[in-house]
Amino acid sequence: MSPWTLKIMLLYAFCLHTTILGVTAYDPLRPRAPGVAFGLTPDYGTAVIHFNNGTSYPIAQVQGSPAYQSFMRRATPGPRTEPSALCQWVTQVLDRLPAALRLDIAFCRSADLTSTKALMSVDDPSSHQSRLAEQALEQIGLRQIMPAGRRAKNVIRVFSPDSAPAYNEKPWLVLAVDYDTHWYNIGLYEIGEEGIVSPIEAFVHGPRFDVEDQLEAAKEELQNNVSKLGNVQHIFLYGKQGGTVELLDLLAETLGSELVNDARVDGSVWTSTSYMAEAAHVRMDDIQFEMDPASNGAFGCKWRSKLYRDGHEEL
């Protein structure tokens, strides 16, 4: 036997041994931790937990305090000495989580999270508020295991058509409108092959807050982009007032009644957060996540949760 043959055999044996160790370290019978997701809007926030049996449970919808609402509308961070309104909100939500999760919320009572400098956009994962939320959750043990998601993209994914453009077909242009009591947000997105949703960056902005005549402002914004909107194939409406007659009439006037009649309307405050909670659970229920050394730091994401033990009656 040549030396090279021996080396190859030893290398193969080593690789096989390593693979076996990796697979046997993964216990398919061990229940996965539930996925927990938080959604932030300018006025309130939501939290949802997704369980191993495939069900999602709304944890809380918490109305933001005046300080929270000011924080969510602020284009730049406040003074360093100002208490973190975001942490105050997170603390209220975590107080409603099951005791089985055993999260440490003391961090939120003393942390200074107002020094980050960035522009604000609730529907922008790179925004000031989004980054502070990730930092706060990481400190209390719920490390962000996936990039923050845009609310509009999540709604489109949930309510998108069953089919998707073929590989040789142009992406579908869709309009997403978030319409609530104190803000609205209009954005253009594309649904591509295999249902992949992508924002058209030049036509995706943050929400417009506390406009004196919100409907008129939305009308003006739509009319300013009417040339681009002529190619829209689907409309997605979400937010507490996304299905109001006034908004539907405005869209019909701009885009035509046939397109508006087929619009997908979501009046639930839970849709986007529920989608992210399920996605977090699916992400953790993966051997690649289990074997990734970086996931070891997510002590809030990996544990033998009491929620799945026999006889457990919480929730």
Q: How far apart are CA 69 and CA 79, in angstroms?
A: 16
- DSSP run (H or E) holding 188: strand 183-191
Q: What is the pLDDT of residue 286?
A: 72
Residue 211, SS3? coil
Provide CATH code, domain 151-266: 3.30.420.40
Report the Cα 171 to chain-centroid distance in Å: 23
Query: Model pTM?
Result: 0.76
With a cut of 50, which residues of the chain have pLDDT below it? 3-26, 81-83, 99-100, 102-122, 296-305, 307-308, 312-315
Summarised one tens digit per residue, pLDDT across range 43-62 is: 998 888 888 888 888 888 88
In this predicted structure, what is the pLDDT of residue 284? 77
Domain ranges of the chain: 1-30, 35-149+271-308, 151-266
- The residues, ordered by sequence, that sit 6+ positions from 99 with a Cβ below 8 Å of its Cβ are 314
Q: What is the pLDDT of residue 2?
A: 52
CB 122 within 8 A of CB 129: yes
CA pair distance 84, 105, nearest whole angstrom: 13
